């Protein structure tokens, strides 16, 4: 029995819209990461870009469980001495809510060139509107 290696003309990339309203961050991020990688397709190959494009709307309405809203801190390091900057979850939610979902999904993807290509297929918007109407995205809902 031969192993099927998908060719470029065989790979079909769809567009999906996911509404993040009242979704738990971790559960939503794992489902998005799986679809971005293409694990839902019969011709999944771990070394190829076979996943779909995902548009996430209402990123500011994401929710966390437990005490994470008070305890979660986002860290960034500039590379310079004393270059560590920290922001609590509440402040990130007010200033840049897209970053919350982006960081969660990015952490679940491979840490290599392929992972950096995959994350480019994720578009996140804080509000209900997005500029990707021309791609005719399909609604994708996850039951929490």
97-125 pLDDT, tens digit each: 999 999 999 999 999 999 999 999 999 99
Residue range 43-83, pLDDT digits in tens: 899 999 999 999 999 999 999 999 999 999 999 999 999 99
User: 74 forms bridges with which residues in the sheet?
Assistant: 87
Evaluate whether 74 touches 107 at the Cβ level (below 8 Å): no
**How many whole angstroms separate alpha carbon 112 and alpha carbon 123?**
20
The string of DSSP letters for 71-105 reads H-EEEEE-SSTT-EEEEEHHHHHHH-THHHHHHHH
Tally of structural domains, the chain: 1
Asked if residue 127 belongs to a domain, the reply is: yes
Pairing of strands 84-88, 73-77: antiparallel
What pLDDT does 144 receive? Answer: 57
Asked if residue 8 belongs to a domain, the reply is: no
Domain membership of residue 42 as a residue range: 15-89+96-140
What pLDDT does 26 receive? Answer: 96
User: Longest Cα pair distance anywhere in the chain, in angstroms?
Assistant: 57
């Amino acid at each position: 029995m031969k192993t099927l290696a998908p060719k470029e003309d065989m790979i079909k990339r769809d567009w999906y819209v996911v509404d993040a309203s009242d979704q738990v961050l971790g559960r939503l991020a794992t489902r998005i990461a799986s679809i971005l990688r293409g694990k839902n397709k019969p011709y999944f190959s771990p070394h190829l870009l076979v996943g779909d494009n995902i548009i996430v709307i209402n990123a500011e309405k994401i929710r966390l469980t437990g005490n994470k809203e008070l305890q979660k801190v986002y860290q960034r390091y500039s590379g310079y001495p004393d270059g560590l900057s920290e922001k609590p979850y509440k402040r990130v939610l007010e200033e840049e809510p897209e970053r919350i979902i982006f960081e969660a999904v990015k952490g679940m993807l491979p840490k290599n060139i392929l992972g950096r290509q995959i994350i480019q297929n994720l578009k996140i918007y804080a509000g209900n509107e997005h500029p990707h109407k021309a791609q005719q995205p399909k609604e994708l809902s996850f039951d929490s």
